[in-house]
Amino acid sequence: MFDFFKAKPKNYEDIPVGEFHNLMLQPNTVILDVRTPGEFAGGKIRGARNIDLMSRDFTKQIQNLPKDKTYLVYCRSGNRSGQACEIMADMGFENCKNMSGGIMRWPFETV
């Protein structure tokens, strides 16, 4: 049985799409799409960089990113991006934000 009191506290923040959209306009912000290249090609948020969570070298690609930026992370539903934020936080990234509900909830423009 799952014990809520023993659950590891989240070291990233889940944010709604509106807040995600507002933060995109801030300097020092990186938008990460952790979906597959195929999903990414089917429509993405403008300016997003694709690093597939399911790829073998995900952590290797993440390691090379500067840790002093704010990372806005999204996927299709918010599940993979949450996992990606957790991995990144474990690697020392202090400012990761997961888009709640993923791109399925995104009412703004995609490219």
Contact 10, 86 (CB under 8 A): yes
C-beta atoms surrounding 38 within 10 Å:
8
Active site amino acids: 75
Tokens of 22: 């507002």
